[in-house]
Amino acid sequence: MSRAARFAGRHVLVTGSTGMAASAARAIAAEGGAVFAVSRTEAHLRALADEVRAAGGQCAWHAADLRREEEVDAAFAAFHAHFGRLDAVYGVAGVSGRRLGDGPVHEASLEGWDAVIAANATSQFLVARAAVRRMLAHRPDAHGQRGALLLMSSALATHPAPAFFATHAYAASKGAIDGLTRALAAYYAAEGIRVNAIAPALVATPMSRRAQDDPAIVAYLGEKQPLADGPIDADAVTATALHLLSDDARMVTGQIVAVDGGWGVSEPRSTPRRA
């Protein structure tokens, strides 16, 4: 199958409607897939669907708060009513946390901790649970598989950067996703369900606007992410995500794949002091 048709006849649910989620939705549709986008913001969902359709692709949407069990289940029911078989899920939606009260643990509030864990970890658990329940009901495809699930981790789960990114609840939430990914992959491999996670470093998205507007952070990223020489373009993350969601990666499960521009192996020449 040509790369342009990797998702032909396949139905993919993507959580989120801007940044990396929007990039993935556009790319999946361009490769023949039918996209179902889920996020809290109707205006963003509508704009994304209109853009994908204008380019000749398929995109439906459903607004939901992914922290809420009943809304996640309703979103998956809406997907089923619209498309039927669920072939893949890309769980992108999440928050950065600082505006919610996240920060160094001695400064962070319990409310901030709870909010970040709910938005980043609980939401991924609820999405994964709903996806697996649907996929278990599928008949295996020609490769003996029932579906693929890709969760969203972060370079900060394993490679902290205390000078500029001391958001400890955020790091913990992404570490939880790493553990969940491996546990799900181990349990459901025999059922033909693949589960992986992608771990970007700092990507140029609306969520990272604060960092992108800080000259000191931009200078830091130039050395910390040398392959990008600054923030990573969302489409570069999408390229890896689509591989993991497609049959090209049908023998890959239980992996946390870093797309970090060199973050994990690079050290700036002069380590900045904590902000």
Q: What is the largest CA-CA distance in the chain?
A: 55
Are 159 and 256 contacting, i.e. CB atoms less than 8 angstroms apart?
Answer: no
Distance of CA 107 to the CA centre of its chain: 28
Are 238 and 20 contacting, i.e. CB atoms less than 8 angstroms apart?
Answer: yes
**Active-site position among 170, 187, 188, 220:** 170
Q: Which one, of 113, 125, 208, 126, lies nearest residue 168 by Cα? A: 113
Q: Which one, of 183, 167, 149, 174, lies nearest residue 14 by Cα? A: 149
Is 188 in the active site?
no
Are 199 and 260 contacting, i.e. CB atoms less than 8 angstroms apart?
Answer: yes
Catalytic positions, written as ranges: 170
